[in-house]
Amino acid sequence: MMHMTFYWSKEVTLLVESWQTTTWTSYAFTLVACFLASAFYQFMEDRRVRLKLASSAEAAAKPPSDADAAASEAPLETPFLRSKVTASAGGKRWTAARVGGGVLFGVNAAIGYLLMLAVMSFNGGVFLSVVCGLGVGYLVFRSGSDDAVTTVRAVADNPCACA
């Protein structure tokens, strides 16, 4: 039977039928796994955003090519599309940073959705474990005082684990 309200029990089925806890030891290992997965989610989010910032800093440092210069001089009727039009005028660039960012985003989205499904087990311990893991992961990986981390916080502070 699936619970539709929060309950407090050592017996929980998490994500798949074979991941069932019946003892306090297995329940504790499950909570530790949820905590570590949540902290890892924050770590991966930090890596993804730092990669994006580093690749955008490299792109800004490069001199514009002839195609980029011609595209930036072309008049546009819709100012909201300016960045998309000028970016596509030079052709799509499948750089390693762009592919890596896409892969990191996919991995991070998968982890976020798995965490969401774990919380949807409605077990109070799993919920607290995931929330505490996200909080500790944010504290350790994403709340530093250096300039890059400050920029990362400004760009991607989203409390949703599956965003």
What is the distance between the alpha carbons of residues 158 and 139, in angstroms, rounded to a whole number?
Answer: 14
Structure tokens at 157: 């502070």
Asked whether 34 and 126 are in contact (CB, 8 A), the reply is yes
Please, which residues have CB within 8 angstroms of residue 129's CB and are 6 or more apart in sequence?
31, 32, 34, 35, 38
Portion of the chain with pLDDT greater than 90, in percent: 50
Structure tokens at 88: 């596509």
What pLDDT, on a 0 to 100 scale, did the predictor assign at position 110?
96
Q: Which residue, among 124, 149, 138, has the nearest Cα to 38 in the 3D structure?
A: 138
Enter the pTM of the model.
Answer: 0.72
Q: Which residue, among 128, 147, 123, 127, has the nearest Cα to 5 in the 3D structure?
A: 123
- pLDDT tops 60 at residue 10: yes
Per-residue pLDDT band at 145 (split at 50, 70, 90): low
- pLDDT tops 70 at residue 153: no
| Whole-number Cα distances in Å, 80 to 56, 62, 85 | 20, 24, 10
Length of the chain: 163
Asked whether 85 and 70 are in contact (CB, 8 A), the reply is no
- pLDDT tops 70 at residue 73: no
* Secondary structure of residue 39 in the 3-state scheme: helix
84-105 confidence digits (pLDDT tens):
545 554 446 788 888 888 999 9
Please, which residues have CB within 8 angstroms of residue 49's CB and are 6 or more apart in sequence?
152, 155, 156
